[in-house]
Protein backbone atom coordinates (compact mmCIF):
# COMPACT_ATOMS: atom_id res chain seq x y z
CA UNK A 1 0.00 0.00 0.00
CA UNK A 2 2.78 2.46 0.94
CA UNK A 3 4.66 1.57 -2.25
CA UNK A 4 1.53 2.30 -4.32
CA UNK A 5 1.29 5.68 -2.61
CA UNK A 6 4.97 6.28 -3.35
CA UNK A 7 4.40 5.68 -7.06
CA UNK A 8 1.58 8.24 -6.85
CA UNK A 9 4.06 10.77 -5.47
CA UNK A 10 3.49 10.40 -1.73
CA UNK A 11 6.46 9.52 0.48
CA UNK A 12 6.28 7.88 3.88
CA UNK A 13 7.92 5.96 6.71
CA UNK A 14 6.98 2.43 7.78
CA UNK A 15 8.30 0.82 10.97
CA UNK A 16 8.25 -2.99 11.08
CA UNK A 17 8.70 -4.14 14.65
CA UNK A 18 9.00 -7.64 16.09
CA UNK A 19 11.12 -9.94 18.20
CA UNK A 20 14.24 -11.66 16.79
CA UNK A 21 13.44 -14.50 14.38
CA UNK A 22 9.73 -13.69 14.19
CA UNK A 23 9.58 -13.18 10.41
CA UNK A 24 10.33 -9.48 9.81
CA UNK A 25 12.89 -10.34 7.13
CA UNK A 26 10.52 -12.89 5.54
CA UNK A 27 7.85 -10.19 5.32
CA UNK A 28 10.31 -7.90 3.53
CA UNK A 29 11.40 -10.74 1.21
CA UNK A 30 7.74 -11.18 0.19
CA UNK A 31 7.45 -7.45 -0.53
CA UNK A 32 10.62 -7.60 -2.66
CA UNK A 33 9.07 -10.28 -4.88
CA UNK A 34 6.06 -8.16 -5.77
CA UNK A 35 5.82 -6.78 -9.30
CA UNK A 36 5.40 -3.22 -8.03
CA UNK A 37 8.97 -3.16 -6.68
CA UNK A 38 10.26 -3.04 -10.28
CA UNK A 39 8.96 0.53 -10.48
CA UNK A 40 11.12 1.88 -7.66
CA UNK A 41 14.81 2.10 -6.81
CA UNK A 42 15.52 0.01 -3.70
CA UNK A 43 18.46 0.69 -1.37
CA UNK A 44 19.36 -1.04 1.85
CA UNK A 45 21.38 -0.28 4.96
CA UNK A 46 21.88 -2.35 8.09
CA UNK A 47 22.91 -1.44 11.60
CA UNK A 48 25.30 -3.86 13.30
CA UNK A 49 25.24 -5.10 16.90
CA UNK A 50 28.67 -3.50 17.35
CA UNK A 51 27.38 -0.48 15.44
CA UNK A 52 27.01 1.84 18.42
CA UNK A 53 30.62 2.86 17.75
CA UNK A 54 30.22 3.15 13.98
CA UNK A 55 29.06 6.65 13.09
CA UNK A 56 26.53 6.81 10.24
CA UNK A 57 27.07 3.12 9.34
CA UNK A 58 23.53 2.44 7.96
CA UNK A 59 23.55 5.75 6.05
CA UNK A 60 26.94 4.93 4.49
CA UNK A 61 25.59 1.53 3.40
CA UNK A 62 22.54 3.20 1.80
CA UNK A 63 24.78 5.55 -0.22
CA UNK A 64 27.02 2.62 -1.21
CA UNK A 65 23.93 0.71 -2.32
CA UNK A 66 22.82 3.75 -4.36
CA UNK A 67 26.29 4.17 -5.93
CA UNK A 68 26.78 0.47 -6.69
CA UNK A 69 29.89 0.37 -4.48
CA UNK A 70 30.77 -3.15 -3.32
CA UNK A 71 32.13 -3.93 0.14
CA UNK A 72 35.51 -5.00 -1.25
CA UNK A 73 36.00 -2.00 -3.59
CA UNK A 74 39.04 -0.01 -2.50
CA UNK A 75 38.48 3.58 -1.26
CA UNK A 76 39.95 5.27 -4.35
CA UNK A 77 37.71 3.28 -6.73
CA UNK A 78 34.73 3.85 -4.43
CA UNK A 79 35.38 7.60 -4.40
CA UNK A 80 35.47 7.71 -8.20
CA UNK A 81 32.25 5.72 -8.47
CA UNK A 82 30.47 7.90 -5.91
CA UNK A 83 31.63 11.06 -7.69
CA UNK A 84 30.55 9.81 -11.12
CA UNK A 85 27.06 8.97 -9.85
CA UNK A 86 26.61 12.31 -8.11
CA UNK A 87 27.80 14.20 -11.22
CA UNK A 88 25.39 12.12 -13.35
CA UNK A 89 22.27 13.08 -11.40
CA UNK A 90 23.19 16.48 -9.93
CA UNK A 91 26.00 18.11 -11.94
CA UNK A 92 25.25 21.65 -10.76
CA UNK A 93 25.65 20.72 -7.07
CA UNK A 94 28.26 17.97 -7.41
CA UNK A 95 31.23 20.08 -6.31
CA UNK A 96 29.42 20.75 -3.00
CA UNK A 97 27.86 17.31 -2.45
CA UNK A 98 30.86 15.10 -3.30
CA UNK A 99 33.30 16.39 -0.63
CA UNK A 100 30.86 16.06 2.27
CA UNK A 101 29.24 12.74 1.33
CA UNK A 102 32.70 11.26 0.61
CA UNK A 103 33.93 12.53 4.00
CA UNK A 104 31.03 10.80 5.76
CA UNK A 105 31.97 7.59 3.96
CA UNK A 106 35.64 7.84 4.93
CA UNK A 107 36.94 8.09 1.36
CA UNK A 108 40.22 9.96 0.69
CA UNK A 109 39.51 13.31 -0.98
CA UNK A 110 41.42 14.83 -3.88
CA UNK A 111 42.01 18.30 -5.28
CA UNK A 112 39.17 20.80 -4.95
CA UNK A 113 37.06 18.41 -2.86
CA UNK A 114 39.88 18.23 -0.30
CA UNK A 115 40.12 22.02 -0.19
CA UNK A 116 36.34 22.35 0.29
CA UNK A 117 36.31 20.51 3.65
CA UNK A 118 39.64 21.86 4.91
CA UNK A 119 39.29 23.36 8.38
CA UNK A 120 35.64 22.30 8.80
CA UNK A 121 35.07 19.95 11.74
CA UNK A 122 32.75 19.00 14.59
CA UNK A 123 29.12 20.11 14.39
CA UNK A 124 29.70 22.34 11.37
CA UNK A 125 31.01 19.35 9.42
CA UNK A 126 28.10 17.12 10.51
CA UNK A 127 25.58 19.77 9.45
CA UNK A 128 27.13 20.03 5.98
CA UNK A 129 27.30 16.24 5.63
CA UNK A 130 23.61 16.00 6.53
CA UNK A 131 22.54 18.85 4.23
CA UNK A 132 24.37 17.42 1.23
CA UNK A 133 23.16 13.86 1.84
CA UNK A 134 19.58 15.20 2.03
CA UNK A 135 20.07 17.18 -1.19
CA UNK A 136 21.44 14.09 -2.95
CA UNK A 137 18.54 11.84 -1.88
CA UNK A 138 15.96 14.49 -2.77
CA UNK A 139 17.41 14.83 -6.28
CA UNK A 140 17.65 11.04 -6.74
CA UNK A 141 13.99 10.68 -5.67
CA UNK A 142 12.93 13.30 -8.22
CA UNK A 143 14.32 11.01 -10.95
CA UNK A 144 12.85 7.73 -9.65
CA UNK A 145 10.81 6.84 -6.53
CA UNK A 146 13.08 5.40 -3.84
CA UNK A 147 12.53 2.80 -1.13
CA UNK A 148 15.20 2.80 1.61
CA UNK A 149 15.22 -0.07 4.08
CA UNK A 150 17.23 -0.04 7.31
CA UNK A 151 17.53 -3.50 8.86
CA UNK A 152 18.22 -3.93 12.59
CA UNK A 153 17.63 -0.21 13.16
CA UNK A 154 17.57 -0.85 16.93
CA UNK A 155 21.37 -1.25 16.81
CA UNK A 156 22.07 2.07 15.08
CA UNK A 157 24.41 4.52 16.78
CA UNK A 158 22.90 7.79 18.02
CA UNK A 159 24.51 9.89 15.26
CA UNK A 160 22.71 7.67 12.71
CA UNK A 161 19.41 7.96 14.59
CA UNK A 162 19.42 11.77 14.55
CA UNK A 163 20.59 11.67 10.90
CA UNK A 164 17.71 9.35 10.00
CA UNK A 165 15.20 11.60 11.75
CA UNK A 166 16.28 14.45 9.50
CA UNK A 167 16.15 12.26 6.38
CA UNK A 168 12.62 11.05 7.28
CA UNK A 169 11.36 14.61 6.92
CA UNK A 170 12.14 14.38 3.19
CA UNK A 171 9.21 11.95 2.90
CA UNK A 172 6.79 14.88 3.35
CA UNK A 173 7.67 16.36 -0.05
CA UNK A 174 9.65 13.73 -1.96
CA UNK A 175 9.08 10.28 -3.44
CA UNK A 176 10.95 8.54 -0.63
CA UNK A 177 9.67 5.60 1.41
CA UNK A 178 11.73 4.58 4.45
CA UNK A 179 11.22 1.11 5.95
CA UNK A 180 12.82 0.56 9.36
CA UNK A 181 13.00 -2.99 10.65
CA UNK A 182 13.72 -3.37 14.37
CA UNK A 183 13.13 -5.22 17.61
CA UNK A 184 10.96 -3.68 20.34
CA UNK A 185 12.02 -2.09 23.63
CA UNK A 186 15.21 -0.33 22.53
CA UNK A 187 14.58 3.02 24.21
CA UNK A 188 17.39 5.10 22.66
CA UNK A 189 16.84 3.92 19.10
CA UNK A 190 13.58 2.21 18.05
CA UNK A 191 11.38 3.80 20.72
CA UNK A 192 12.92 7.22 20.05
CA UNK A 193 12.26 6.88 16.31
CA UNK A 194 8.63 5.90 16.90
CA UNK A 195 8.05 8.91 19.13
CA UNK A 196 9.75 11.24 16.64
CA UNK A 197 7.63 9.95 13.75
CA UNK A 198 4.36 10.19 15.67
CA UNK A 199 5.14 13.78 16.62
CA UNK A 200 6.58 14.99 13.31
CA UNK A 201 5.26 12.83 10.46
CA UNK A 202 2.01 11.38 11.77
CA UNK A 203 0.27 11.68 8.36
CA UNK A 204 3.09 9.87 6.56
CA UNK A 205 3.84 7.20 9.15
CA UNK A 206 2.69 3.58 9.60
CA UNK A 207 3.58 0.91 12.15
CA UNK A 208 3.49 -2.84 11.49
CA UNK A 209 3.98 -5.17 14.45
CA UNK A 210 4.89 -8.72 13.45
CA UNK A 211 3.24 -11.12 15.90
CA UNK A 212 4.34 -14.69 16.58
CA UNK A 213 2.31 -17.33 14.73
CA UNK A 214 -0.09 -19.03 17.12
Burial of 192 by CB count in 10 Å (0-12 exposed, 13-18 middle, 19+ buried)? middle
Question: Residues 189-205: what's their mean pLDDT?
Answer: 95
pLDDT at residue number 83: 97
pLDDT of 55 above 80? yes
Output the furthest CA–CA distance in the chain (Å, rounded): 61
Burial 86-107 (b: 16+ CB within 10 A, else e): beebbeeebebbbbbbbbbbeb
Judge whether 157 and 61 are in contact, CB under 8 Å.
no
Q: Please write the tens of the pLDDT for every residue from 167-184.
A: 999 999 999 999 999 999
pLDDT at 23: 56
Q: How far is CA 24 from CA 67, 76, 159, 180, in A?
A: 26, 36, 25, 10
Asked whether residue 45 carries a pLDDT value surpassing 70, the answer given is: yes
DSSP reduced 3-state for 204:
helix
Per-residue pLDDT for 21 more than 90?
no
pLDDT at 161 over 90: yes
Of residues 19 and 114, the one with the higher pLDDT is: 114
* Coil/strand/helix, residue 172: helix
- The rounded distance, in Å, linking the Cα atoms of 99 and 103 is 6
pLDDT tens across 135-158, in order?
A: 999 999 999 999 999 999 999 999
Question: Whole-structure pTM over 0.85, yes or no?
Answer: yes
Mean pLDDT of 112-139: 97
- Split at pLDDT 50, 70, 90, the class of 108 is very high
| CA nearest neighbour of 141 among 87, 177, 107 | 177
Across the range 125-133, mean pLDDT stands at 97
* pLDDT tens digits for range 62-76: 999 999 999 899 999
Amino acid sequence: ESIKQLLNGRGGVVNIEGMAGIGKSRLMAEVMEKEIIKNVAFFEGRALSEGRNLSFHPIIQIIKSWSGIKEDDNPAVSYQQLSANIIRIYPEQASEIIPFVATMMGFPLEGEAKQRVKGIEGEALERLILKNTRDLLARAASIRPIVIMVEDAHWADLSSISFMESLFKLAKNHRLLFINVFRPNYKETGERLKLFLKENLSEHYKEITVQPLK
